[in-house]
Structure 1
Amino acid sequence: MSSTTSADPDLQLKPWWLPIPLTEDTPWHGAIGPLSIYLERGQHEWRLAWEHRPDVIDNNRLELGTDRLPPDTLDTGRYVFRQAPSTVRLRPRLLDRPTVVKTNEPVMIPPGEQSTFYISSPVCVCIECDALEKPLLEIPTVQLSDTWFGPNTREGELCYAARTSARNDVDDVPLRPHRAVTPVLLHNRSTELLAIEKLSIPLPMLSVFGRDDGTLWTESVSLEHHASDSLASLKIGRKPDGATLLSEARLPSQRNNVVRAFINLFTD
């Protein structure tokens, strides 16, 4: 699979998930999409603040290592150590719920046809240090709204809601440092025209992979539609070529039981 091309010629992506050195008593600021993180390392503590910038939710910002101080309006957390770690790592991880993405316009797949769509999802940023096994904090880069996905109020699950352009050419996918791209192969094996307006992407069952060009990807998802009852068979593919595993799936034990997340996939 080829790498994507950027819609923003000024954006310079690079892997932001590598270890970052912190100089004692020197502020550190990083911006990944609409998320800004502020860190300062003392001898025995880290001071940490963060904020979402809703005015830049579609802005492909990537800034690492500026010495910007946090605004006075932000609350700062103090993390105390015997000796404060000298490096921080920002690790991407997928959201903790499936995301229901609504297409900007209905997508039609004729009988017997198939197509691959490239759908991106905002990631969380885990703030980690070598001294601890678990992240100090996990922050979503974008705050999505909640939605219910299922045939009725008794069956289904709580998900996040988003919109997608459902691009079917990988070269049309914009480079965005805070979003991971999932290739979704839809195969219409029924005898009827398949109209798609919503997709439920099982993000907790997918892993995050990074490429040297600074882009984030997940495994591919293959979905075969056989009848008009909206039930489909689903498979999670292998890792993308030329990519390094950054975060395991949150629910790896359920990888073979993901069809339920796609029930009523093609309803309004």
Structure 2
Amino acid sequence: MQTGEVQQALNLEEKTWYAMSLGDLTLYLQQKGSELLTATAYQSNDAPPLCQVLHPVEQLADGVKIKERLYIGDPEEQYRIQLQLADKPYQVKTDTPIRIGPNGHLVLYVSTPLWVQLISTSGQVMSEYPAVSPRLSWVGSSTTEGALCYSSKSTAPADITQVQRREHRAVTAMELVNSGTAPLSVERLSLPLNMLSLYYASGEGFWTESVRFRIEPGSGETTIVASAKPPLDIGEAKLISEPRESGKSSRLKTAMNLIMG
């Protein structure tokens, strides 16, 4: 998928269904006067991921029903399709526990699913759909202190040559730094995707900025620092979408115990 296909303006023939597919999602669109009809279908998550640009179809697939009717209001406004990162942090669990020695550091690569957004020319997000149905979880120091997030498992390779690029996922380079004098055990990390940008590099796929986690083993206190761009190893990367949270800071500090190992 090229960047021109990602940020695609909608130019739909009236009363004709169109479909695009990404990951497990198939999104159907139809322009009907001043309203845009939408419908969605999700395949089984163990099926090969889909990737198909917007194209006309004869009708909705069997069993698929209209999900929404969207009205922009201003007749001069138009829609475009854009990809974005998740709207909540992702709690990433590694397949196997990781231990880092005192003052040691390690870079891991994880990927997370993208979201497909319908945006007006003025920048309003009218609706959005995850490429893969996410699983909700909770991150925090207790059942009352924390926040909802998504969760997923990852092989989290430490070698960039082993990173699998997929059209419906973005890769993040996570540097884990043990700032203490005892070994650090890591099983889960909370990745603040809602505060990161989405980039695209030709031949390398979708990436976010690199993120550094500086962790104190005793207390679990974590300082998160987001870099200005993805790793240099992927070459030139084009910005696709800005962070969801406009108050993004390059230095994100939290006293929450983000390490669940």
**Normalization by structure 1: what TM-score?**
0.82
Number of the residue aligned with 1:118:
109
The equivalent of 1:103 in structure 2 is 94
Cα separation, partners in 2 of 1:86 and 1:212, compared to 1, 3 Å: farther
Equivalenced residues, count:
253
Does structure 1 residue 94 correspond to structure 2 residue 92? Answer: no
2:129 aligns to what SS in structure 1? strand
Question: Which residue is equivalent to 1:210?
Answer: 200
**Which residue pairs with 1:231 in the alignment?**
221
Identity %: 28
In 1, the alpha carbon distance for the partners of 2:88 and 2:156 equals 20
Residues 23 and 248 of structure 1: CA distance in aligned 2, closer, same or farther (over 3 Å)? same
Structure 2 residue aligned with 1:195: 185
For 2:207, the aligned partner's letter is: W
What is the aligned partner in structure 2 of residue 34 from structure 1? 24
Match of 1:7 in 2: none
Extract unaligned runs of 5+ from structure 1: 1-12
Paired residue for 1:8?
none
| In 1: Cα distance, 2:132 partner to 2:60 partner | 19
Q: Quote the Cα distance in structure 1 between the aligned partners of 2:236 and 2:47.
A: 27
Letter aligned with residue 100 of structure 1 = Q
| TM-score normalised per structure 2 | 0.84
1:249 aligns with 2:239: no
Please state how far the C-alpha of 1:214 moved relative to its aligned partner: 7.0
1:158-197 Cα deviation digits (max 9, x unpaired): 2111111111122212121121111101122322221110
Matched, 1:264 2:257: yes
- Cα distance, 1:82–1:160 mapped onto 2, change above 3 Å: closer
For CA contacts below 8 A with separation 6 or more, give which structure has more relative contact order: 1
In terms of fraction of residues, the more strand-rich structure is: 2
> Residue 195 of structure 2 contacts residue 248 of structure 2 at CA under 8 Å; is this kept in 1?
yes
1:181-227 Cα deviation digits (max 9, x unpaired): 11101122322221110010011111111223472111110122244
Whether the 8 Å contact between 1:14 and 1:213 is mirrored in structure 2 is no
Q: What secondary structure, in the 3-state scheme, does the structure 1 residue paired with 2:157 have?
A: coil
Deviation at 1:135, TM superposition (A): 2.6
C-alpha spacing 1:78/1:224, structure 2 compared with 1 (3 Å) = closer
In structure 2, relative to structure 1, the CA distance for the partners of 1:65 and 1:249 (3 Å cut) is closer
Q: Which runs of 4 or more aligned residues in structure 1 lie more than 6 Å from their structure 2 counterparts after TM superposition?
A: 81-87
Residues 184 and 217 in structure 2, CA contact (< 8 A), matched pair in contact too: no
Q: Distance in 2 between matches of 1:44 and 1:219?
A: 38
After superposition, give the CA deviation of every residue in 1:129-171 in whole Å (9 maximum; x if it has no partner).
43x5313311112222222212212322221111111111222
Residues 150-229 of structure 1: pairs in structure 2 closer than 5 A: 150-213=140-203, 215-229=205-219
